[in-house]
Every structure is written in C-alpha cells, then in structure tokens.
Amino acid sequence: MSRFNHGVLLFNGQAGQDSEEEALSLVVPVIATHCHKLTIVQTLSPDEFKQACMDASYADVLFIMGGDGTLHTAVQVLEKIENLPIIGLLPGGTCNDFARTLDIPPFLKEAAETIVTGVVQDVDLAQINDGLFMNFAGIGLIADASENINPNLKEKYGKLSYFMSALQTFSQSEPFSIHLEIDGTTYNEEAVMLLVMNGKSIGTHRFPLDIIDPSDGQLDVVLIQSSTMAAIREWFSLNQPDIMPDDLKNVTHYTGKHIVIRTDEPKKVDTDGEIYLETPVEITVKPKSVRFLVPNKNN
C-alpha cells in the first residue's frame, strides 16, 4: 500500500529542458512508488508557481523540486493554504541550504529515496514585514556578497561563485550602526554583518553554531563586528563545544522571537538569497508552521 494517497511534484520549468528531463528521471520513479496518485506540475513564472502551491491543497504531500529561491517563493503562500500538505523538499538548486539544514542529501535521487521513507518534522517560519523566510535574513556583508555575484560566474562555477563574491566583499566591508530590539530589549551595535537564522546553512556551508534549531520556536541573531582575521577565527570557533559566544569579542549572539532591525541609512536585506527588502524590518518567528519530510535517523 502506498504511503501517500495523492502527491504533487511541483517544479519551476525555467532551467532548461535537458536538465528538467534528467531531474525528473531521477525522482519520479522513486516518489511514484510511494504515492497512489502523482500529479506533476511545471510552472514558468514565480506567480504561476505560487498559484500551483495554492492549488495543491487537495494533496497530502507536496514535493517541491528546486533550490533555495524556489522554496522561498513557495514559502510566501504556504501559510495561506487551509489544508497545507506535508512538504517534500527535493534539492535542485545551486546551494540548497535549507535542504542541508534538514539533513536531506544533496543529490536528487538519494534525496527522494530518503524523504519518501522519512519522518515528518514541524518546522518554524519567520515573518519579515509582510513576507516570510525559511532559512535566514541578513544585512551587510551577506547582502553585498549576494548582489556582487557575477551571473556568468554563478552559471560556470556554481556554489564556488558565492565564496568568490564573499571573499571580495569581506575585504571591502566597513562596520555600520545597527539598532536592535529583541523581545523588547534594545541593543546598539556596530557590525559588518547581521544574520537572523532559522536554518543552519548559508552558501552550502554549515553555520558554525550547533544550537540553531529550525523547530525550537526561536530565531538566532548573529553579528560579526569586523572584517578582520580575528573575527574570522572567532566565527569558525563557534562550533567548538568549549567556546561560549558571550566570551567572543568580534562575534555576538542573541536569541529571540520578535526582532526589529533599524539602521541609520537603509540597508538591503537578503532573505534566503533573495534581495528585495530594505531596513527597517520587523521579524517574528511563527513556530511549527510547516511540516517537512526529513530523513529517518533510526534507519
């Protein structure tokens, strides 16, 4: 007997026919054996993709094949779906950071095989002004690096282009003033980058702070005070169990459920790799809003 009655496989068909056919050939045979019915939907624009998500409310599982940008597009409408299906994330982008957060394998066939036999995890969302994000929101270096990515390099080098842009941007970064309010407490900071994290991965790299949990009902706020080698060393020391974030001089860590970010001059905000907002922004965690299929670690 199939695990799911009706599944929908949704993908954005802008990547090119050859890559689409190859991707479908990897995942469809796997997920079809676990669905009594499987509907495959291809869209050609973000608006069409959002509508297809809304139209999938009849399904009990919605497989989304794509990268972080595709997931970010879907997230904008998921809360509006009255009977939201379980989400099966199939990583088909450049970085696939939220799939990494959920420990979903980075290869499509393996990812499909893993999630169809996986377990369901309730995952938080974050509202930012009138929109939503799944993985992170950031200002400063992170937004500058995203904007500086050369599209030709991204096509040629893939995820390496993110590191090339980040290295160039890091060397040019100057601290700026940030006025923070976290759960009613005010902080005035100077930093080259601020991140509000729900997920654990950015640019394919695991975030060096093991306590980040996308299901804990809280968001993690991390500030990098300077673009020095000392700051880089402290950043990568965060994953060491004997390092306490409160003892660091160049990295500051907070947690909270409601966060307001203001800057003296408007700063562009990167949400899940997409840049269309500017400060000030107000961010609120929405606990356990979406159910995802994740690997069963007992297998």
As annotated, the active-site residues are 274
With tokens 């079809």, the residue in question is 32
Residues linked to residue 277 through DSSP beta bridges, in sequence order? 269
CA–CA separation, 231 vs 224, rounded Å? 7
CA–CA separation, 283 vs 136, rounded Å? 11
The b/e string for 159-197 (b: 16+ C-beta within 10 A; e otherwise) is eebbebbbeebbeebebbebebebeeeeeebebbbbbbb
Is the CB of residue 12 less than 8 Å from the CB of residue 66? yes
Query: Residue 169 region, left (φ>0) first, then alpha (ψ -120 to 50), else beta?
Result: alpha
The DSSP-derived string for 20-41 is HHHHHHHHHHHHHTTEEEEEEE
Report helix, strand or coil for 254. strand
